[in-house]
Amino acid sequence: MIELFHSTGTFHPVRVEPGVDLAELRRREGWVWVDVVAPDNREVSALAAEFGLEALDVGDVLDSTEYPNLEERAGYLFVIAHSPSVDRERLRTVEVDAFLGSDFLITVRQEQLPAFDAVAGSFEASAGTGPDDFLALLLDIFVHRIRLLVDNLEAEVDRLEAMAIIGDPEVVQQLQGLRRDVVRLRRVLIPQREVLRAMARSLRGFVVSDSARSTLDSSFDDCQRVLEELDSARLLLASALDTYRATVAERMNEVMKVLTVFSAIVLPLGLIAGLYGMNFVNMPELSWKYGYFALLGVMGSVGLGLWIYFARRGFIGRPRVPRIDRAVGRGLASFVHLTLVPARTVWNAVSGPEDSDPDDRSEVETG
């Protein structure tokens, strides 16, 4: 599907219909925007012939490109950008190819994107905007949509950290999915940031307007901040995964500790039972009337004594997870009171102790 927009100071959207002469429309005053969704070879070839697009760029349009890029051609800039999208509850990016000329803008994408509707709606109320302003605003919306996703990332990381602390097994799958999304966004944003920088500073020789440059600079700054937040989130996610593994290992250690304690308790009891289970003839305890009960008492006393011994040594029992969870998350907040100690010391030295009587101070001063 192809949509054509023509701007001559005020924005007049015109849909392409059979019989519309694109070449005649280009000869009018102003500039045109051609928006192509899910193009085929015939449509792309017709646009390439009309606007003088190079065959190499046409091939890049028809074949998906993983990374954003910027190339300067004779009479136009070829820009490859990516916009976030969701497919079956999974994050992905959609490639958007743009050809920017002095009097035209061509955008090619494989599916509908909300960013284009927002840009078209904002330009319908604008006047005196050029194709570079239009493309700059479109790229800014791409970065802004990613920024909205990243803004919710901190709360999601906090939630996964809480799950990791209590050892929830579902946290592993969620952590891996979130890490994959973070890596995917970084892989796209790093080259897209360079595209914004090159366009804003006219590094490829194509000079944009001051308004477009201002928008591109703002998008570059936002992109830089988003990348920093993604780097921090990646470290926090790795830390959360290590926390989960440590929690699981701690639980396993507790299980092994309890099994070891039980084994240590049962071992002397088994030794006693095995000793009196031997078939010797001369064993006086076997003929004693209360020998069986005495042996049970000895075995019970040994077991109870060992249990008390291990409990006092700390081999049995540990702090519960809810107690640990309440202590987590305070960070440096628990050390804030330390910064007030020097201030209190100086204040007490100057003003004296708070509980001292003012009459006592006056007597000291008089004396």
Tell me: the pLDDT tens digits for 55-112?
888 888 888 888 899 988 888 899 999 988 877 667 888 889 999 988 888 999 888 7
The SS3 of residue 281 is coil
Q: What whole-number percentage of the chain has pLDDT above 90?
A: 9
- Report the pLDDT value the prediction gives residue 321, as an integer from 0 to 100: 45
Query: Is the CB of residue 107 less than 8 Å from the CB of residue 34?
Result: yes
- Map out the domains of the chain as residue ranges: 273-366
Query: Is the CB of residue 272 less than 8 Å from the CB of residue 298?
Result: yes
Question: What confidence category does residue 194 fall into, taking pLDDT thresholds of 50, 70 and 90?
Answer: very high
- Report the pLDDT value the prediction gives residue 122, as an integer from 0 to 100: 61
| Helix, strand, coil % in the chain, rounded to nearest 5 | 60, 15, 25
- The more confidently predicted of residues 270 and 24 is 270
Q: What whole-number percentage of the chain has pLDDT above 70?
A: 78
- Tell me the residue length of the chain: 367
Q: Which residues contact 132 (CB under 8 A, 6 or more apart)?
A: 100, 208, 209, 212
- Report the pLDDT value the prediction gives residue 19, as an integer from 0 to 100: 55
The strand pairing partners of 109, in sequence order, are: 37, 96
Q: Round to whole Å and give the CA distance between 95 and 193.
A: 15
Q: Round to whole Å and give the CA distance between 16 and 5.
A: 9
Whole-structure pTM value:
0.69
Half-sphere exposure of residue 262, counting CA atoms within 13 Å on the CB side?
6
